[in-house]
Amino acid sequence: MSVKSVAHTTCYMCACRCGIKVHLEDGRLRYIEGNRDHPINRGVLCAKGSAGIMTALSPARLSTPLKRTGPRGSGAFEAISWEEALRLLTERLTAIRASDPNRLALYTGRDQSQSLTGHFARMFGTINFAAHGGFCSVNMAAAGLYSLGGAFWEFGEPDWEHARLFLLFGVAEDHDSNPIKLGLARLKARGAKIVSFNPVRTGYSAIADEFIAVTPGTDGLLVLALIHCLLEAGQIDTEFLVRYTNAHHLVIDVPGSAEHGLIARDAEGRALAFDRTAGTLVAAESLDIDPALMGRFTLPDGRAARPAFALLAERYSEASYAPEAVAARCGVDAAIIRRLAAQIAEAAFRHPVVLEQPWTDTAGRRHERMVGRPVAMHAMRGISAHSNGFHSCRAIHVLQMLIGAVDTPGSWRYKSPYPKPIPGGGPPGRTVGPPGTPLDAAPLGFPLGPQDLLVDEEGEALRLDRAFSWEAPLAIHGLMHMAIARAFEAGAQKIDTLLLFMSNMAWNSAMNPGETTRMLCATDAHGEYRIPFVVVADAFASETVAYADLVLPDTTYLERYDCISLLDRPIGSAHGPADAIRVPVLDPGRDVRPFQDVLIELAGRLGLADFTAARGGPLYASYADYIVRHQRRPGIGPLAGFRGADGTAVGRGEPNPEQLRRYVENGGFWSQHLPPQQLYYKFANRDYLAGAQQMGFIGSAEPIVLQLYLEPLQRLRLAAEGHGARVPPQRLRARIARYCDPLPIWYLPLEQAMSERSRYPLHAITQRPMAMYHSWGSQNAWLRQILPENRLYLHRELAAELGIEDEDWVWVESRTGRVKARARTMSGVNRHTVWTWNAIGKRAGAWGLKHDAPEFTRGFLLNHVISEFLPGNGADAPQSNSDPVTGQAAWFDLTVRLERCSPDSPDETAPRPDANPLHITPRSEKPT
Amino acid sequence: MTMLPERAPGARKMGLVIDLDTCVGCHACAVNCKEWNTGGEAGILPDYDKYGANPDGVWFNRIHSYETESPERSRTVNFPRSCLHCENPLCVTVCPTGASFKRAEDGIVLINTDICIGCKLCSWACPYGAREFDEDNGVMRKCTLCIDRIYNEALPEAEREPACVSTCPAKARHFGDLADPDSPVAKLVEERGGVDLLAELGYRPTNKYLPPRQAQLPTGPEESPARPSQGVGAALLRLLDKALSR
């Protein structure tokens, strides 16, 4: 008789964090299914999650710590003990910390434990920390957090229950997976209309009622045209604007002055507005005023000022934003844009959602019902991965605000613990005091102006990746995609140790794998590596492992404790806060350790504050111990549920030694449902905000004013005009002045503006295959049967024009290189766009695959023709290929040309870097 | 030659209803099916050349995504394909050993692999390509409608449905008794105009497909004529004239 058991834990095959039930038979994996009680997936599970068994059995799993023996990149290693690995690292990091802690750069990939890894960096004292957000979604996060105090994807979701019109921007099969699919099914069941703006019609776009094949990088312009139409038609929710946004705040209008474009304030620092009833200036937050949204007013000191809305209305009413003016550029007929605008207005204003649910605003006023605009929006990669993505995302948020579609019934809603004050958190942490002193705050933060940037006296970046500098002032997730290039450039003086966790930086996470691996192996005049020491923590033999000097083998997600914390990126929903854990289900049977355990032990050995016992040595025995006992602030720890000595406290409460057991008993998660009066208008909902403050989500229960007009950007812009003590270097002034516009702008993506469009007339992007959404650990015996190699897809008409037929090999050429791909024609794609599935191509030798695997021979990466740098411009060092506001990697700005390969061209992709499989000398065979 | 059973009056016809209007083509059903069945009573669903040049294996369910073109509209259709548990299954009647059989009580078509000789006649007889040959064991394999789930009293009642239905993130798959006109699946077929696949061949599939709906066409007002605009428009100014209250 076999022994059967079921464990509840959290999936980690992608970023969704679905609850799973893992069935075991005699200690071996039998079946993984969705947990029906779990708030994220409600019992469903995607293809990837269902293939978790094959990931747990992957031949690419690392099994022991490794130390490099051959040249970097050769794959030659010797197996070493954990004690040796930790001793090596402790010695190295102790020396760094004693001289200059910033010489440790810690970059973590799709890490779901950033509250730990970031805290480690802070206590170590290095500003050089970031996670993968800089090459993923920082445009969405920054635009959302600075505009709404929430964001698409991580911190918000559509109101699936009440939306009548759903606008989906730039989302293929990704971000997120199961919740969007569940939501689309609900919309379909209610007959709501789904419109997808995407150059490619697959997945979600395939089932949309309307597919708009927008030209990549023009979504922002299209949205501004929608705004133009709504303004023209007078279809604006002015009541929402004056109650909940800064639309009526007066903006100083004295061009050339040091305060031009800033919000006019009274002596107490309160923003001013003009009350039309009283005919006077008043504090904008005053109740029962009739604020002007247009006009020009005189401040007490004689200066002129205008409502923020007036600036907005004038700008987008211009003919240059009319559908007819943008149609050609966006690849969308003007009539369609006008019709969509009319549909938005109709859904918002003729079919409001009315819930007979009283609620009380922050002024104490009771509202008898909740009235909302049933136009929900969601956006992700296709907006984010462009160098104009921050402003494009801001444009969507402005559209939401203009029609009152933020956290009202039927619209987009905050996921708990959001909204947060705008922007949440303080400025990024700085080095204070002698080496060894913790930073004064977490390394990633929210600059509000020049004073918060991390720059030296010349205005140049302090951080390795130049985040929070004039090159990327609101880089709130850092620029992981630039870390290796900048470490290479700067040499050993700047960075000694580069510690990478869970990110394939030498392959599909590199903007250019060839350049990245060259830089990782480059030596200086003395034959020393320019990046002196590279440490890679990963569970699998990815392409990056071969470039490590020291490899810290991680476990798979089924072999570890983890927490999906409210301090980081939790699983809360619009219905209330939630968090979850992972528990070890399998015994690894390999000499591997969870990276978080290793980091906690390392921190103890280094003597870092918050990680070291009073008598010295590690304070926490493991990550599980840290999850239970660590307190970020009194009573607030990684998990919010089952706190307090008896496990009854939520949010705040002393650590509960039984907390993990209680989570296990509860199915691996904790969730709390908000009462109905708190479910909407959270930014101004008295009861919600009081509860959120009590739970420790926000510092104060003040209303959160939505930022139609983004004043912090204007502060940066004024500095670029020479005002203030901290100004950008001369070479960056025009750039800051242009891109730090407090109202959304649209501009041609930077690379496209600088490259020869006639030579590279086509856009090239990737989409995420649903069965492999998120590329980590994507080698999987079942999933690779579904998609073992990728094709380059192009429109039938374009193919005919270029003489390309299905299965032809073609060269995809960009300004920096070319890659060979097999073509497939289709109709559902923008006429000027080619695309492929992301991260299918792999490098021979990696991932435990055989030498003739199709992932090597015919699978390809577009990354080979992308560059992390924009075209150089002479004297100035080239800029990174990133959004100029946030530093977001501009993957989708790529332009290419296609050329059919000659018929005798071999049946394989190119470039195909040499195989560099790992050659590991076992510990026992080590020569003595 | 294998005989079909006499269908008892009132016998159930268990099957799937698959909604092509909401299927996003994510392969969740296919992988979860493989996962459930390979470790269960169906026996291992083999994988060939797992990490090599030609990764392949036995699947009871596969998803095809393709484009259809019509003068009005081009669209992408995601189409999951598995055994349809036909009422007139030639895959059964061609079987020389009786390994392929249809159950009288619920209409499920199964294979008894103990007496399957791997002659593949059934896979030739199936116009839907629903049967896959197990090269490791020399026998034919196919969807069992998860008979080890749907009647499994060890499972909570809510989980007694095929794995593909349980896991479908887009809720595009439905399971039930299609002989009962009052069952939710039969009603869905009625309401949505569910269709038989290749009805003209006369296999009378039990599984039904719900066709993609007519798109929710624009409900907005008539398209407004294009017009140049200068400055803030009159409509907006009229709106802004109204008194507001904060």
On chain B, the residues whose CB falls within 8 A of the CB of A32 are: 35
Task: Out of A191, A342, A826, name the one closest to residue B224 (CB).
Answer: A342
Output the pLDDT for position A925.
56
- Residue B70: pLDDT band (50, 70, 90) is confident
- Residue B72: pLDDT band (50, 70, 90) is confident
On chain B, the residues whose CB falls within 8 A of the CB of A209 are: 215-217
Q: What are the E-state strand segments in chain B?
A: 14-19, 47-48, 56-57, 61-69, 74-82, 100-102, 109-111, 132-134, 139-141, 173-177, 208-210
* pLDDT at A777 exceeding the cut of 70: no
* CA-based nearest residue to A508, from A263, A851, A121, A843: A843
* CA-based nearest residue to A226, from A377, A374, A372, A350: A377
Q: DSSP states of A444-461 as a string?
A: S----SGGGS-B-TTS-B
Other beta carbons less than 10 A from residue A528's beta carbon = 11
Output the pLDDT for position A924.
72
Q: What is the dihedral of CA A180, A182, A184, A190, to 10 degrees?
A: -150
Domain A4-45+558-671 in this protein, CATH class:
mainly beta
Output the pLDDT for position B160.
98
B22 and A184: CB-CB below 8 Å? yes
For A730-754, what is the HEC assignment? Answer: HHHHHHHHHHCCCCCCCCCCHHHHH
State how far residue A35 is from chain B, nearest Cα, in angstroms.
10
* pLDDT at A471 exceeding the cut of 80: yes
* pLDDT at A493 exceeding the cut of 70: yes
* CA-based nearest residue to A480, from A851, A925, A60, A117: A117
Q: Is A728 left (phi over 0), alpha (psi -120 to 50) or beta?
A: beta
* pLDDT at A423 exceeding the cut of 80: no
* pLDDT at A875 exceeding the cut of 80: no
Percent of chain A with pLDDT over 90: 94
> Per CATH, is A66-136+430-554 categorized as 1.20.120.330?
no
* Backbone φ, ψ for residue A650 (5° rounding): -125, 145
For A277-302, what is the HEC assignment? Answer: CCCEEEECCCCCCCECCCCCEECCCC
> What is the C-alpha separation between A854 and A633, in angstroms, rounded?
51
- Summarised one tens digit per residue, pLDDT across range A514-526 is 999 999 999 999 9
Asked if A849 reaches chain B (Cβ–Cβ under 8 Å), the answer is yes
On chain B, the residues whose CB falls within 8 A of the CB of A289 are: 245-246
- Give the least confident one: A416-425, A497-506, A627-636, A874-883: A874-883
Asked if A831 reaches chain B (Cβ–Cβ under 8 Å), the answer is no
* DSSP 3-state percent helix, strand, coil across chain B (nearest 5): 20, 20, 60
Residue labelled with tokens 């509202």 = A367
On chain A, the residues whose CB falls within 8 A of the CB of B168 are: 44
Asked if B100 reaches chain A (Cβ–Cβ under 8 Å), the answer is no
Do residues A454 and A430 make contact, with C-beta atoms less than 8 angstroms apart? yes
**Residue A549, Cβ density class (10 Å: 0-12 exposed, 13-18 middle, ≥19 buried):** buried
Task: Out of B34, B226, B246, name the one closest to residue A243 (CB).
Answer: B246
Every domain range in chain A assigned CATH 3.40.228.10: 156-414
- Residue A772: pLDDT band (50, 70, 90) is confident
Output the pLDDT for position A928.
47
> What is the C-alpha separation between A631 and A627, in angstroms, rounded?
9
On chain B, the residues whose CB falls within 8 A of the CB of A233 are: 233, 235-236
The count of CB pairs under 8 A between chains A and B is: 250
Domain B14-210 in this protein, CATH class:
alpha beta
Mean pLDDT rounded to a whole number for chain A: 96
| Continuous segment of H or E residues that includes residue A712 | helix A711-720
Do residues B233 and A231 make contact, with C-beta atoms less than 8 angstroms apart? yes
> Please, which residues have CB within 8 angstroms of residue A927's CB and are 6 or more apart in sequence?
none
Enumerate residues 58 to 87 of chain A having a beta carbon within 8 A of any beta carbon in chain B: 59
Q: DSSP states of A26-40 as a string?
A: TTEEEEEEE-TT-TT
Task: Out of A313, A343, A850, name the one closest to residue B218 (CB).
Answer: A343
What fold does the segment set A156-414 form as a domain? Dimethylsulfoxide Reductase; domain 2 (3.40.228)
Q: What is the mean pLDDT of residues A411-423?
A: 95
B76 and A828: CB-CB below 8 Å? yes
> Please, which residues have CB within 8 angstroms of residue A419's CB and are 6 or more apart in sequence?
A148, A149, A150, A407, A682, A683, A704
Q: Minimal Cα distance from A208: which residue of B? A: B215
- Summarised one tens digit per residue, pLDDT across range A390-402 is 999 999 999 999 9
- Summarised one tens digit per residue, pLDDT across range A836-861 is 999 999 999 999 999 999 999 999 99
Output the pLDDT for position B228.
52
Output the pLDDT for position A25.
94
* pLDDT at A566 exceeding the cut of 60: yes
| pTM beyond 0.95, yes or no | yes
Pairing mode, strands A19-25 and A28-34 = antiparallel
* Sign of the dihedral defined by the CA atoms of residues B93, B97, B100, B104, in that order: positive
Percent of chain A with pLDDT over 70: 99
Name the amino acid, one letter, at A398.
V
Task: Out of A202, A204, A335, name the one closest to residue B223 (CB).
Answer: A335
Do residues A512 and A911 make contact, with C-beta atoms less than 8 angstroms apart? no
Do residues A553 and A63 make contact, with C-beta atoms less than 8 angstroms apart? yes
- Summarised one tens digit per residue, pLDDT across range A693-734 is 999 999 999 999 999 999 999 999 999 999 999 999 999 999
ipTM associated with this complex? 0.96
- Residue A765: pLDDT band (50, 70, 90) is very high
* pLDDT at B214 exceeding the cut of 80: no
> Please, which residues have CB within 8 angstroms of residue B220's CB and are 6 or more apart in sequence?
A339, A342, A343, A345, A346
> What is the C-alpha separation between A227 and A744, in angstroms, rounded?
11
* CA-based nearest residue to A28, from A780, A585, A667, A783: A585
Do residues B105 and B114 make contact, with C-beta atoms less than 8 angstroms apart? no
On chain A, the residues whose CB falls within 8 A of the CB of B154 are: none
On chain B, the residues whose CB falls within 8 A of the CB of A53 are: 35
* pLDDT at A579 exceeding the cut of 70: yes
On chain A, the residues whose CB falls within 8 A of the CB of B244 are: 238-239, 242, 276, 290-291, 293
- Residue B221: pLDDT band (50, 70, 90) is low
Q: What is the mean pLDDT of residues A567-575?
A: 92
- Residue A927: pLDDT band (50, 70, 90) is low
> What is the C-alpha separation between A774 and A110, in angstroms, rounded?
9
* pLDDT at B224 exceeding the cut of 80: no
Alpha helices in A371-433 (DSSP H): 381-384, 389-402
Other beta carbons less than 10 A from residue A715's beta carbon = 23
Query: Which of the four CATH numbers 3.30.429.10, 1.10.357.10, 1.10.260.40, 2.40.40.20 does domain A750-900 have?
Result: 2.40.40.20
Output the pLDDT for position A774.
78
DSSP code for A511 = S
State how far residue A828 is from chain B, nearest Cα, in angstroms.
7
User: What are residue A275's DSSP bridge partners?
Assistant: A280, A291
User: What are residue B100's DSSP bridge partners?
Assistant: B111
| Continuous segment of H or E residues that includes residue A86 | helix A82-99
Do residues B176 and B167 make contact, with C-beta atoms less than 8 angstroms apart? no
* CA-based nearest residue to B133, from B221, B48, B13: B48
Every domain range in chain A assigned CATH 2.40.40.20: 750-900
Asked if B166 reaches chain A (Cβ–Cβ under 8 Å), the answer is yes
B27 and A343: CB-CB below 8 Å? no
Residue-wise burial string across B45-73, b where 16 or more C-beta atoms lie within 10 A, e elsewhere: bbbeebbeeebebbbbbbbeeebeeeeee
Residue labelled with tokens 């294009």 = B226
Name the amino acid, one letter, at A493.
Q
Output the pLDDT for position A12.
95
- Summarised one tens digit per residue, pLDDT across range A650-703 is 999 999 999 999 999 999 999 999 999 999 999 999 999 999 999 999 999 999
Alpha helices in A403-437 (DSSP H): none
Q: What is the mean pLDDT of residues A190-209?
A: 95
Asked if A283 reaches chain B (Cβ–Cβ under 8 Å), the answer is no
